[in-house]
Structure 1
Amino acid sequence: MNLASFVTTYMEPEAEDLMVEGLRKNYIDLDQYPQTAEIHNRCVTMLANLYHAPLQPGQKATGTGCIGSSEAIMLAGLAMKRRWKDRRIAAGLPYDKPNMVFGSNVQVCWHKMCKYFEIEIREADVSPDCLVLTAKRARALIDENTIGVSAILGSTFNGEYEDVKSIHDMLVEENERNGWNIPLHVDAASGGFIAPFISPELEWDFRLPNVKSINVSGHKFGLVYAGMGWALWREPEDLPDDLVFHVNYLGGDQSSFTLNFSKGAGNVVAQYYNMLRFGYEGYRRIMAASMENAEHLREALAATGYFTIVDKQHMPLVAFALINSSRYTCFDIQDKLKARGWIVPAYTCSSGAESMVIMRVVVKQNFSSHMANMLVQDILKAIETLEQQYILVETAIATPKEKKHFKDVVLAIQANLRRHQSGLTTRGVC
């Protein structure tokens, strides 16, 4: 079972049927398929309302569907760069050195965006005791050429929410002090479909006036198959109009602000199905159940005595590290679990905490408490095997080859194993 990926791998049969029907409809051909456009616009409006966009009665929300959060981040980055450039031109200031500020724990798409669009990367290092961007770390990197700061709602490394409000307040303070206009973007690829249902009181979205754009992945905790993301802007003026293209060669005037063009309507239809099918309460129950299963796994792993938990319980994600890695590493456990059919990634943390190796389990709606028990038992079996391998090597190294017959070496190894096995028994963790 793949516990590495955030991407949805299960949908209801009815949703799958609707996706198949939508595959043959070109999502961008609004004149031919006007209801697909209506479905898309309803999804944008529902998400804008979920994230507290300041919409007036009858006002159209500003946003677009994307292939995923990577495309959404590209679009948000373009909008931030263009608004910064326009302000610099209007003030008669140079605009050749734009920079973007984020933590070293960002997903790789942020590096792609900066490289593709010629934006200087200003990346704040993390640390073993704090694996995310903080207001203090961001403050040291911003200046008049900063097009924006990105805060992550759900870090890929350990699922932690960055303190969006603290970073927001710091930017408001610095903007007022220096006459800048640096916006805050929230990368809510994972947390955007969790926080509104699990932590509705948390202020991270358009309730904060300097949050100008948000991206979210429908194909993660939005519960749609791969290929669905969303980019939303606080108000229409936060998306420069000259970045929106108008075409009429499909039969009528159509606005477009995407990096892609033709694509099937299946994912958009599936997102709309989920929103209608589950509603707010349905999403809340699904996320609450996943959080409960994650907590069960977290407690079971901690009870083994082998691991320390490094996530902050913000998301249905469990990140953990070995307390003692002198005999074997998380990478060794990863290999043993793979042989048992589990894909549990082991990886080094980002810049500033590279020496820290952790493992991660993404707890999705199809991961049950029974599966959590099975996983912990297989982790303990992997550890027992690795301990025995270590003892074998240790015994062989300690045996002088010139003084003992091969049979004696084997007997010594077997005796050593028996002495250690009493310490390898599991402690009722499940």
Structure 2
Amino acid sequence: MRETGAGEEDIFAELCEARRRDVPYGRVLSSMCTNPHPVAIRAHQEFVNTNLGDPKLFPGTAAIERRCIGLIGELLHLPDATGYISTGGTESNIQALRTAIQLKHTDRHRANIVVPESAHYSFEKASQMLGIAIRRAPLDDLLRADPSEMAALIDEDTIALVAVAGTTEFGQIDPIEEIGKLAQEQALYLHVDAAFGGFVIPFMEKPAKFDFEVPGVQSITIDPHKMGLSTIPSGGLLYRSESLLKLLEINAQYLTSMVQTSLAGTRSGASAASAYAVMQYLGREGYRQIVATCMKNTRSLQEQLEDLGMEPVIEPVMNIVTVGAGDPVGLRKRLAEKNWYVSTTVHPCALRMVVMPHVTEEVIGAFVTDLKKVL
């Protein structure tokens, strides 16, 4: 640190130069994040110095978080759901498994969870942090969780099942109704990771059942900072009942609230305000239009890739396109040389593109033009 402070203009010249080196979203087809809505940015700025970690000092901000959870609960077929605004899917998934451990009262060193092979890498982090084993069930031919394979992995030390609504690699939706029945039959906790799909599936023409509408589902991860168009970081963790959230309570004596349930101690109220503001501003109709446009552009991208001889791994279920490409990793590198950023999947290996709101018809046209040059 400097002995004396630098001038504001010098500081921001350095910051702006660093920011210019970042890749603009208009060249990014690999990310599940996008430009936040202007309303979300304005709300974020208004609440930037609030701390939901001590809600009695910020009762107005805490009320906004409760309203935000209420709006998300309505979206997920449970208006009286409880929960909180987290930093994102990783924190929410870790917290859901903390809840399952507390609920089961089992020996943590023997405990295991059963997840599909398509589960997000955050469950690996949860395994390391919580000291529980992961059992990964094979997928079916459509790259969805196979309930029969999951059932075969359950034993007396299993504490939870996990299903995914919008897998990271392929955007696939697991058969959550079937997995919910399995969870009820086995008296197991079921957590649904809908970090990506939570703000897509409800606004599709024929939405799949994935949320609290399914009786066995106990908690859901959903990220407003993805297709919800909130600012980063804005995640969500919702529970079917308040008793589940209370399992996470720990004493925090020096705070005015005395207890905390979140993983992070200090939590910015800006995340909750941002998510609340954009949901109120767009409403269901606004989100339906955004999702419809993304799906239209998804189909357009897929058709143009098929014209180049690239066949889809699966027909897009959501706004993610995956295609065979001979050497996907090499092609990804050649595209990066032209300042286009896509990603590759692992099982099977394919080229992956996420059609977020910033991936417009114009972006797709420019991308395909450069793709032809590098093929």
Distance 1:41 1:311 in 2: 39
Q: Which residue of 1 aligns with 2:292?
A: 288
Residues 200 and 76 of structure 1: CA distance in aligned 2, closer, same or farther (over 3 Å): farther
1:4 corresponds to 2:4: no
C-alpha displacement at 1:138, in angstroms?
0.6
- Which one of 212, 223, 226 corresponds to residue 218 of structure 2? 212
- Which one of 120, 138, 147 corresponds to residue 107 of structure 1? 120
Distance 2:191 2:205 in 1: 19
Distance 2:32 2:340 in 1: 15
Residues 135 and 319 of structure 1: CA distance in aligned 2, closer, same or farther (over 3 Å): same
TM-score normalised by the chain length of structure 2? 0.88
- Which one of 310, 313, 318 corresponds to residue 316 of structure 2? 313
Residues 202 and 122 of structure 1: CA distance in aligned 2, closer, same or farther (over 3 Å): same
Q: Which residue of 1 aligns with 2:350?
A: 358
Residues 69-84 of structure 1 mapped to structure 2, 5 A cutoff: 69-84=89-104
Distance 1:331 1:377 in 2: 19
1:345 corresponds to 2:352: no
1:24 corresponds to 2:49: yes
1:374 corresponds to 2:372: no
C-alpha displacement at 1:15, in angstroms?
2.9
- Partners of 1:160 and 1:312 within 8 A in 2: no
- Partners of 2:54 and 2:257 within 8 A in 1: no
1:138 corresponds to 2:150: yes
Q: Look at both structures and tell me which one has the larger radius of gyration over its CA atoms.
A: 1
- The SS at the match of 1:23 is coil
- Partners of 2:142 and 2:314 within 8 A in 1: no
- Partners of 2:176 and 2:214 within 8 A in 1: no
C-alpha displacement at 1:377, in angstroms?
1.7
Distance 2:267 2:125 in 1: 22
Q: Which residue of 1 aligns with 2:20?
A: none
Distance 1:237 1:265 in 2: 24
C-alpha displacement at 1:225, in angstroms?
2.4
- The SS at the match of 2:42 is helix
1:99-123 C-alpha deviation (Å, 9 max, x unpaired): 1000122111101101211111111
Q: Which residue of 2 aligns with 1:413?
A: none
List gaps (5 residues or longer) in structure 1: 56-60, 89-93, 176-180, 350-355, 384-430
Residues 12-411 of structure 1 mapped to structure 2, 5 A cutoff: 12=38, 14-53=39-78, 55=80, 61-85=81-105, 96-126=109-139, 129-172=141-184, 174-175=185-186, 181-199=187-205, 201-239=207-245, 241-247=246-252, 249-250=254-255, 252-253=256-257, 255-305=259-309, 307-322=310-325, 325=326, 329-349=327-347, 356-383=348-375
C-alpha displacement at 1:96, in angstroms?
4.6
- Partners of 2:231 and 2:275 within 8 A in 1: no
Q: Which residue of 2 aligns with 1:424?
A: none
- Partners of 1:69 and 1:229 within 8 A in 2: yes
1:204-235 C-alpha deviation (Å, 9 max, x unpaired): 11111110110111111111222111111111
C-alpha displacement at 1:376, in angstroms?
1.4
Distance 1:134 1:302 in 2: 29
The one-letter code matched in structure 1 to 2:363 is M
Residues 248 and 37 of structure 1: CA distance in aligned 2, closer, same or farther (over 3 Å): farther
- Partners of 2:162 and 2:191 within 8 A in 1: yes
TM-score normalised by the chain length of structure 1? 0.77
The one-letter code matched in structure 2 to 1:289 is T
Distance 2:258 2:284 in 1: 31
1:8-64 C-alpha deviation (Å, 9 max, x unpaired): 23432x432332232222232323322110110001111112111274xxxxx3111
Residues 3 and 51 of structure 1: CA distance in aligned 2, closer, same or farther (over 3 Å): same
The one-letter code matched in structure 2 to 1:309 is P
* Farther off after superposition, 142-151 or 25-34: 25-34
Distance 2:100 2:153 in 1: 17
1:353-411 C-alpha deviation (Å, 9 max, x unpaired): xxx3211111111211121122112111111xxxxxxxxxxxxxxxxxxxxxxxxxxxx
Ranges of 4+ aligned residues in structure 1 off by more than 6 Å = none
1:324-368 C-alpha deviation (Å, 9 max, x unpaired): x2xxx112211221122110112422xxxxxx3211111111211
The one-letter code matched in structure 2 to 1:99 is N
- Partners of 1:8 and 1:225 within 8 A in 2: no
Distance 1:311 1:189 in 2: 21
* Farther off after superposition, 20-29 or 69-78: 20-29
RMSD: 1.9
C-alpha displacement at 1:238, in angstroms?
2.9
1:263-322 C-alpha deviation (Å, 9 max, x unpaired): 3322211101111110111111111111111111011111222x1112432211111112
- Partners of 1:311 and 1:317 within 8 A in 2: no
The one-letter code matched in structure 2 to 1:348 is V
- Partners of 2:194 and 2:222 within 8 A in 1: yes
- The SS at the match of 1:184 is strand
Number of residue-to-residue matches in the alignment? 349
Distance 2:244 2:268 in 1: 28
* Farther off after superposition, 195-204 or 154-163: 195-204
Residues 48 and 381 of structure 1: CA distance in aligned 2, closer, same or farther (over 3 Å): same
C-alpha displacement at 1:161, in angstroms?
0.8
